Structure 1
């Protein structure tokens, strides 16, 4: 199955590192003009060297007005990946107002903000489009010290469904991927040793996801090959959720 994005314009948030960076590079290699958005200039300078198809946007998605303005300046976008996000490691009884607001702002509110801008353009052009939200298995399973993070991702799951319902009549597909532990640099640091063995053993495939596992799934959902997929929440966790 050949997937190409020639003639398409894509926006990827949180594109400076990890999964977002890999998605942006893969889209560019597939022929798309990619707007890579990050709040870290050094990361943007680095990813821009990967492909002449990559353009960069320096903005913090947590700033509603500035982010909206930056995305509007991109012009027409047919493909959107809401990947920007932050983690949280506070137990339920230790959650602070600042932590809660920060996680929900970046992981959920920003995705709504950016999707509004992009989707309004898609609707106006009447040519459809595809959106993929990067959620987490934490929206589907209870994990210690993940209350804020899990709530933000569960909210994103439901926003995905609502977007699919309301944008679908405009031929705009919205889907969601829910990765488990992914072997990014951070993933290897926290889960690559002994502390990760119990979770790995519980997973039927007996391994954690690689970045490519997530990238390939996202590319498929963005492509015309997934033309009838809309409102899907797709776990990428090796079967952990069935145990």
Structure 2
């Protein structure tokens, strides 16, 4: 067979497939189905992988990093292969040569995306210079992507009112869901929830306790008296 040009990704797999097809042809088969050929190729690949793993285990156990023929023979013997028949099989008369698999490497450079026109050098730079060219303009030209903050008083007041309304609505829904509430509309319980009033055990206690404003005034008055006494 003539040599084929294959990519490095599937070159090894294709070589195994061609070897299996050649063995089938030597055994007298004239044609085969793709699924059968793939199954035999997978079996051969698994067998060779197991032989390689066993060989590596043998030479690593011996403290070496390079395998020898003895390591391969021991690995084949462990898997039940008759080593004496290997030489006879390699000297068979109906051997079919499949040729050498040529692997190609893609040497083409990917196209470079260029945005805009590169800036040229000033006139005082000589033409036979060896300076690198300027990059694309998008790499050093500043582009504003954000929005300017709003400064109009009316719009700011509307935004603050809308934010306050959203916060109050969210807190109302949170209290209604975590506590007892009654829906204003029976069909939609989350539209207008009415928070149930919880009566206090001592309703007149709040009237007897001073408010926060009165407590603050009392604290300031006490501090003023203490300062006057120190003076």
TM-score under structure 2 normalisation? Answer: 0.20
Which structure's CA Rg is the greater one? 2
TM-score under structure 1 normalisation? Answer: 0.19
| Larger strand proportion of the pair | 1
